[in-house]
Amino acid sequence: MTEISRTVRIGSSHGLHARPAKLFAQAAKEAGIPVTIAKGDGRPVNAASILGVIALAVEHGDYVTLTADGDGAETVIDTLTELLTTDHDQES
């Protein structure tokens, strides 16, 4: 098993509010391996928990650290990174 961590900058202009948080948590849940997200030096939370993700109060431009542990961790981190760096508030 390989644990992979990556720090990414939030792209959504309104941060990880309900819609982006839901998309992110859903993708983390579907990954099938444990994934956590932490804001700055804060305590990591389960990335598959929508409430946990929203409770981090992540704003546009904030840095978060993703950690995935298990088979395919790198692919999972790549997918989640793309979700976090995309500005979901610009889509129509």
Q: Which residues are catalytic?
A: 17
87, 12 Cβ separation under 8 angstroms = yes
Other CB atoms within 10 A of residue 1 CB: 8
- State the Cα–Cα distance between residues 85 and 92, nearest whole angstrom: 17
